[in-house]
Structure 1
Amino acid sequence: MTSRMTRQQAAAALVEGVDQDLIAATAILALLERQFDAALRHQGAELALLAEELTPVLDAMDARRRQRVALVRALHGLDGTMAGFIATQPEPGRTPLAAAWSELERVVVACKAATTRNGNLLADQFTTMQRVLQGGDGTYAPR
């Protein structure tokens, strides 16, 4: 928390950041699904475009994460957590913030799973192409 930011401003920034991250994470998940489809279809140009779309969204989300960590620590000490911050918020704001945070966590887990799935598919495709092009381990050799 900067020295010029009040506790109320810091809390508002945290709430806004969660809302922005939920929008961003949902967009990222959609991009990852498009990436998977493009990889299945071996659409290299589409994969490159999707990577260009993903990068700024991920960078902005990471910047908000860093700000969130700093603000929570400034408000609740070095061991402060979002759960602790949410618990201290008055109603009617606490319930929608808790729901948004929970949904953000769920979408981020889905993004991580999609990223792993996409990476595995691309790695498998690369390995297969290397074997085909270089003769590899004799997978396609007559027996």
Structure 2
Amino acid sequence: MSRMTRQQANALLADGVQADVRDSAEVLALLERQFEAALRHRSSELTGLAELLAPLLDAMEARRQQRVALVRALLGENATMAQFIATLAEPARGALAAAWGDLETTVLACKTASTRNGGLLAEQFTVMQRVLHGEDHTYAPR
């Protein structure tokens, strides 16, 4: 990567956070659709949703890695995003702090939805295994 100015790095970081805010909202909406599809046992819809989720999550992960690298390059190996935000002048500081807060909130909601969806899918899988193969102790002596 070519050398960039601090101003360019700041702009890249701010743009990346905004992109993640946008994409995380879309991920959350897709996770809600995934839950509804799982409840209704619509496997083809689940497959389609997974295909929509994957590139969004990959892009968010790439931006996260870039963000970590940039903040560390600017402020040191153990620097955090909060420390980076604190270095900015207003109004950039307030705008990025608000966007970062929105991102954190949405990511937590995504994690909660993902855990819920995974639990539902695991439960459905367990039920289907019992239906297909019976329970281990069904014919065991008492």
Q: Report the TM-score range of the alignment, normalised by the length of the smaller protein.
A: over 0.9
**Amino acid in the other structure paired with 2:44:** A
Structure-1 residue corresponding to 2:79 = 80
Offset, 1:111:
0.3
Gap regions ≥5 residues in structure 2: none
Determine if the alignment matches structure 1 residue 129 to structure 2 residue 132.
no
Structure-1 residue corresponding to 2:42 = 43
Structure-1 residue corresponding to 2:58 = 59
User: Within 1, Cα distance between the matches of 2:53 and 2:101?
Assistant: 23
Alignment of 1:96-107 (within 5 A): 96-107=95-106
Percent identity, aligned pairs only, is 65
Query: Could you list the per-position Cα deviations for residues 43-80 of structure 1 after superposition, in whole angstroms to 9, with x for gaps in the alignment?
Result: 00000000000000000000000000000000000011
Offset, 1:11:
0.6
Structure 1 outlier segments of 4+, above 6 Å: none
Alignment of 1:11-50 (within 5 A): 11-50=10-49
Offset, 1:126:
0.3
User: Within 2, Cα distance between the matches of 1:69 and 1:61?
Assistant: 12
Offset, 1:137:
3.8
**Amino acid in the other structure paired with 1:89:** L
User: Within 2, Cα distance between the matches of 1:33 and 1:59?
Assistant: 19
Offset, 1:92:
1.0
Structure-1 residue corresponding to 2:6 = 7
Query: Could you list the per-position Cα deviations for residues 117-137 of structure 1 after superposition, in whole angstroms to 9, with x for gaps in the alignment?
Result: 000000000000100111114
**Partner SS state of residue 79, structure 2:** coil
User: Within 1, Cα distance between the matches of 2:7 and 2:70?
Assistant: 11
**Amino acid in the other structure paired with 1:129:** M
Gap regions ≥5 residues in structure 1: none
